[in-house]
Amino acid sequence: MSRLYIAIVLSIFCFGCGQRAIDPPALTAKVAVKVGPPADPERALFEQVRSGTYQINAAMDSIEEARKTAKEMAARETGQTQHALLTIASNLDDAGGTLSDFADDPPPIEKFKSDFATQDDRRLKAIDGANDALDAVHDAQDLVEALLKSNPPEPEKTQLSEADSALDGCVEAVEDAIKTMGGKVATN
Protein backbone atom coordinates (compact mmCIF):
# COMPACT_ATOMS: atom_id res chain seq x y z
CA MET A 1 0.00 0.00 0.00
CA SER A 2 2.81 2.37 0.77
CA ARG A 3 4.17 1.74 -2.71
CA LEU A 4 0.83 2.71 -4.22
CA TYR A 5 0.68 5.81 -2.03
CA ILE A 6 4.25 6.82 -3.04
CA ALA A 7 3.43 6.23 -6.73
CA ILE A 8 0.35 8.48 -6.51
CA VAL A 9 2.26 11.24 -4.72
CA LEU A 10 5.10 11.05 -7.25
CA SER A 11 2.70 11.17 -10.19
CA ILE A 12 0.91 14.20 -8.75
CA PHE A 13 4.25 15.81 -8.08
CA CYS A 14 5.69 15.01 -11.52
CA PHE A 15 2.60 15.74 -13.59
CA GLY A 16 1.12 18.52 -11.49
CA CYS A 17 -2.38 18.95 -10.34
CA GLY A 18 -3.84 19.65 -13.71
CA GLN A 19 -2.65 23.23 -13.84
CA ARG A 20 -1.63 24.37 -17.24
CA ALA A 21 1.93 25.51 -17.65
CA ILE A 22 2.59 29.03 -18.91
CA ASP A 23 3.30 29.03 -22.63
CA PRO A 24 6.86 30.08 -23.44
CA PRO A 25 5.70 32.72 -25.94
CA ALA A 26 3.83 34.45 -23.12
CA LEU A 27 7.08 34.72 -21.22
CA THR A 28 8.89 36.33 -24.13
CA ALA A 29 6.14 38.60 -25.41
CA LYS A 30 7.48 41.96 -26.49
CA VAL A 31 6.01 45.09 -25.09
CA ALA A 32 5.37 47.81 -27.64
CA VAL A 33 6.85 51.09 -26.51
CA LYS A 34 5.72 54.24 -28.21
CA VAL A 35 8.57 56.55 -28.96
CA GLY A 36 7.42 60.09 -29.27
CA PRO A 37 9.26 63.19 -30.25
CA PRO A 38 12.15 64.17 -28.00
CA ALA A 39 11.32 66.41 -25.07
CA ASP A 40 13.38 69.21 -26.63
CA PRO A 41 13.51 68.78 -30.44
CA GLU A 42 15.75 71.82 -30.85
CA ARG A 43 18.34 70.35 -28.47
CA ALA A 44 18.06 66.97 -30.22
CA LEU A 45 18.75 68.60 -33.59
CA PHE A 46 21.61 70.57 -32.07
CA GLU A 47 23.18 67.34 -30.84
CA GLN A 48 22.72 65.73 -34.27
CA VAL A 49 24.45 68.66 -35.97
CA ARG A 50 27.22 68.77 -33.40
CA SER A 51 27.90 65.04 -33.68
CA GLY A 52 27.57 65.15 -37.46
CA THR A 53 30.09 67.99 -37.65
CA TYR A 54 32.53 65.90 -35.65
CA GLN A 55 32.00 63.01 -38.09
CA ILE A 56 32.48 65.34 -41.08
CA ASN A 57 35.80 66.49 -39.67
CA ALA A 58 36.87 62.88 -39.13
CA ALA A 59 35.88 62.08 -42.72
CA MET A 60 37.87 65.06 -43.98
CA ASP A 61 40.96 63.82 -42.12
CA SER A 62 40.58 60.36 -43.68
CA ILE A 63 40.06 61.80 -47.14
CA GLU A 64 43.07 64.09 -46.81
CA GLU A 65 45.34 61.17 -45.86
CA ALA A 66 44.13 59.17 -48.87
CA ARG A 67 44.59 62.21 -51.14
CA LYS A 68 48.17 62.71 -49.96
CA THR A 69 48.94 59.04 -50.59
CA ALA A 70 47.54 59.24 -54.15
CA LYS A 71 49.61 62.38 -54.86
CA GLU A 72 52.77 60.75 -53.50
CA MET A 73 52.20 57.66 -55.62
CA ALA A 74 51.51 59.78 -58.71
CA ALA A 75 54.87 61.52 -58.28
CA ARG A 76 56.61 58.16 -58.78
CA GLU A 77 54.54 57.04 -61.77
CA THR A 78 54.19 58.00 -65.40
CA GLY A 79 51.63 57.70 -68.17
CA GLN A 80 48.13 56.32 -67.58
CA THR A 81 48.89 55.21 -64.03
CA GLN A 82 50.04 58.69 -63.07
CA HIS A 83 46.97 60.22 -64.72
CA ALA A 84 44.66 57.81 -62.83
CA LEU A 85 46.36 58.58 -59.50
CA LEU A 86 46.08 62.32 -60.10
CA THR A 87 42.40 61.87 -60.93
CA ILE A 88 41.96 59.93 -57.68
CA ALA A 89 43.66 62.76 -55.78
CA SER A 90 41.44 65.30 -57.55
CA ASN A 91 38.27 63.37 -56.68
CA LEU A 92 39.35 63.21 -53.06
CA ASP A 93 40.19 66.91 -53.10
CA ASP A 94 36.66 67.62 -54.38
CA ALA A 95 35.16 65.43 -51.66
CA GLY A 96 37.15 67.16 -48.94
CA GLY A 97 36.28 70.58 -50.34
CA THR A 98 32.59 69.75 -50.35
CA LEU A 99 32.74 68.56 -46.76
CA SER A 100 34.74 71.58 -45.62
CA ASP A 101 31.68 73.77 -46.26
CA PHE A 102 30.00 71.96 -43.35
CA ALA A 103 32.92 71.42 -40.98
CA ASP A 104 32.25 74.37 -38.67
CA ASP A 105 30.75 73.62 -35.28
CA PRO A 106 27.19 74.79 -34.78
CA PRO A 107 26.64 78.01 -32.86
CA PRO A 108 25.92 77.84 -29.12
CA ILE A 109 22.61 76.19 -28.25
CA GLU A 110 20.83 79.50 -27.51
CA LYS A 111 21.69 80.92 -30.94
CA PHE A 112 20.94 77.57 -32.54
CA LYS A 113 17.46 77.55 -31.01
CA SER A 114 16.76 81.16 -31.98
CA ASP A 115 17.69 80.41 -35.59
CA PHE A 116 16.29 76.88 -35.69
CA ALA A 117 14.93 76.89 -39.27
CA THR A 118 18.22 78.12 -40.70
CA GLN A 119 20.17 75.56 -38.70
CA ASP A 120 17.93 72.74 -39.87
CA ASP A 121 18.34 73.91 -43.47
CA ARG A 122 22.12 73.90 -42.98
CA ARG A 123 21.91 70.34 -41.63
CA LEU A 124 19.96 69.23 -44.71
CA LYS A 125 22.50 70.91 -46.99
CA ALA A 126 25.29 69.16 -45.08
CA ILE A 127 23.60 65.81 -45.70
CA ASP A 128 23.31 66.57 -49.43
CA GLY A 129 26.92 67.77 -49.51
CA ALA A 130 28.13 64.66 -47.72
CA ASN A 131 26.28 62.49 -50.25
CA ASP A 132 28.00 64.43 -53.06
CA ALA A 133 31.36 63.90 -51.34
CA LEU A 134 30.53 60.22 -51.02
CA ASP A 135 30.02 60.03 -54.80
CA ALA A 136 33.47 61.56 -55.35
CA VAL A 137 35.04 59.05 -52.95
CA HIS A 138 33.27 56.19 -54.75
CA ASP A 139 34.66 57.48 -58.07
CA ALA A 140 38.15 57.46 -56.55
CA GLN A 141 37.55 53.92 -55.29
CA ASP A 142 36.52 52.78 -58.76
CA LEU A 143 39.79 54.11 -60.18
CA VAL A 144 41.88 52.41 -57.49
CA GLU A 145 40.10 49.13 -58.16
CA ALA A 146 40.74 49.52 -61.91
CA LEU A 147 44.43 50.08 -61.19
CA LEU A 148 44.50 47.00 -58.97
CA LYS A 149 42.90 44.92 -61.73
CA SER A 150 45.73 45.93 -64.06
CA ASN A 151 47.96 43.80 -61.82
CA PRO A 152 50.68 46.36 -61.05
CA PRO A 153 54.09 45.23 -59.79
CA GLU A 154 55.13 45.49 -56.18
CA PRO A 155 55.36 47.80 -54.23
CA GLU A 156 52.63 49.68 -56.19
CA LYS A 157 50.20 46.80 -55.75
CA THR A 158 50.57 46.90 -51.98
CA GLN A 159 50.26 50.69 -51.92
CA LEU A 160 47.11 50.53 -54.04
CA SER A 161 45.64 47.87 -51.77
CA GLU A 162 46.35 50.08 -48.78
CA ALA A 163 44.81 53.06 -50.59
CA ASP A 164 41.73 50.95 -51.35
CA SER A 165 41.40 50.08 -47.66
CA ALA A 166 41.87 53.73 -46.72
CA LEU A 167 39.09 54.69 -49.12
CA ASP A 168 36.83 52.13 -47.44
CA GLY A 169 37.49 54.02 -44.22
CA CYS A 170 36.68 57.31 -45.97
CA VAL A 171 33.37 55.91 -47.21
CA GLU A 172 32.50 54.70 -43.74
CA ALA A 173 33.35 58.05 -42.17
CA VAL A 174 31.21 60.00 -44.66
CA GLU A 175 28.31 57.57 -44.28
CA ASP A 176 28.56 57.91 -40.48
CA ALA A 177 28.38 61.70 -40.84
CA ILE A 178 25.26 61.44 -43.00
CA LYS A 179 23.53 59.05 -40.61
CA THR A 180 24.55 61.02 -37.53
CA MET A 181 22.92 64.13 -38.98
CA GLY A 182 19.71 62.19 -39.49
CA GLY A 183 20.11 61.70 -43.23
CA LYS A 184 20.06 58.73 -45.54
CA VAL A 185 23.00 57.57 -47.59
CA ALA A 186 22.12 58.02 -51.25
CA THR A 187 22.44 54.87 -53.34
CA ASN A 188 23.88 54.99 -56.82
Residue 29 has pLDDT above 80, yes or no: no
How confident is the model over 19-37, as a mean pLDDT?
51
pLDDT at 9: 45
Q: How far apart are CA 135 and CA 21, in angstroms?
A: 58
What is the band of 188 on the pLDDT scale with cuts at 50, 70, 90? Answer: low
pLDDT, the chain, mean: 84
Contact 70, 163 (CB under 8 A): yes
Domain positions in the chain are: 42-180
- Rounded to two decimals, the pTM is 0.75
Q: Which CATH class is domain 42-180?
A: mainly alpha
